[in-house]
Amino acid sequence: MSGVNPQPRDHQPHTVYIVSPLSRLPELVRTRVPDLNVLSYPIPEDFRIDPSEYSKLAKLIDDSKADIIITFHTTLRNLVQRGLSCDHLRWFQSCSAGIDQLFRAFQKPPEHMVFTRMGEGFGELMAEYVLGQIISREHYFPQMVEYQRQKVWSRSKFIQKRSLSTMTIGILGTGAIGSKIAAACKAFGMTVRGLCRTKKRLPNFDVLLRNEDLSKFLTGCDYVCSILPSTAETKGMLSGDVLKACQDKRSVFINVGRGDVIDEASIMRALNNSWIGGAILDAIDREPLPADSPLWTHPDVVITPHVSGPPSTDTIARVFVSNYQKFIRGEPLDYKVDWKLGY
């Protein structure tokens, strides 16, 4: 686990520095924890900040002597790279579930700090995204919109449909988010497979396989959904010829996890060789996806800009406040980053 259990500093008020595009977050935290000194620095929604501004912000945070920081893992990485001293920090609360950029900011976790991520609040939205994309594809919604645009009344293409209850989805990653997706798919009668590091019994999964059984897991799936984090074990996990195991049903690949689980060339190869029937990509190896990428114009690809599980201001505030009460009591915090596992 990262860091040590936080030690409360009796009789000394704590200061949190919030660096976020979520404009309501500072006031929510301030209202819910009146004795906490809340400082904030708003950043653009696209996170595009000039390097010199990061240097300025790093100095502001250092001068404030804040012992807590709430921001995104990418922002913390940029601040550290621009000179932020973490000597005064005791706790970093990420605004996202993914924290892979922490490992670029620190070769090893500072022993005096604890790092926590978001462990809830994303599952419902991501389950709705996955299920919505499946229903949209199976009911030809994009084609219907195009027919309407062209003022075409034609039923023949749309009357041959598959029920979700006849299909199998394989979910790579069976944690909190994967379990939400499994429950949503199970509610529509889908057969649900799960791939995980250690075999265990979980509700809403009909079959659970370990990572070493990846090829067996992929075979026979109508949809394959990755929600995997970015770790040494998962990077490139689906690259190369791995998706060839999907060719019997020409599975549709959905990625709502981290983009580096598979590179763009491997996705294109799987599409062009008819190993998969399509790709729904909310996470891609290169983000933003360059305009010259062939994925943009491939007819069987849907691209969305990493929005399947946007952060909720209320959820971030709720998780932080709950953890803050534990922090001041010196208790272990929820959703601590495990630096050995990489998430």
Name the residues annotated as catalytic: 258, 287, 306
**For residue 120, what are the CA distances in angstroms to 15, 125, 177, 210, 247?**
24, 11, 8, 24, 34
User: In degrees, to the nearest 5, what angle opens at C-alpha 224 toward C-alphas 236 and 315?
Assistant: 85
User: In this structure, what token pair is assigned to residue 53?
Assistant: 């501004």
Report the candidate in 279, 275, 274 with the shortest Cα–Cα distance to residue 298: 279
User: In this structure, what token pair is assigned to residue 186?
Assistant: 């199970």
Q: Which residues contact 326 (CB under 8 A, 6 or more apart)?
A: 332, 333, 334
Question: Strand 207-210 vs strand 114-116: parallel, antiparallel, or unpaired?
Answer: unpaired
Contact status, residue 241 vs residue 267, Cβ threshold 8 Å:
no
Report the candidate in 240, 239, 189, 249 with the shortest Cα–Cα distance to residue 218: 249
The whole-angstrom separation of Cα 83 and Cα 168 is: 49
Contact status, residue 46 vs residue 68, Cβ threshold 8 Å:
no
231-264 burial, b at 16+ Cβ within 10 Å, e below that, comes to: beebbebbbeebbbbbbebebbbbbbbbbbbbbb
The whole-angstrom separation of Cα 265 and Cα 294 is: 9
Report the candidate in 91, 69, 103, 120 with the shortest Cα–Cα distance to residue 3: 91
User: In this structure, what token pair is assigned to residue 157?
Assistant: 């293409």
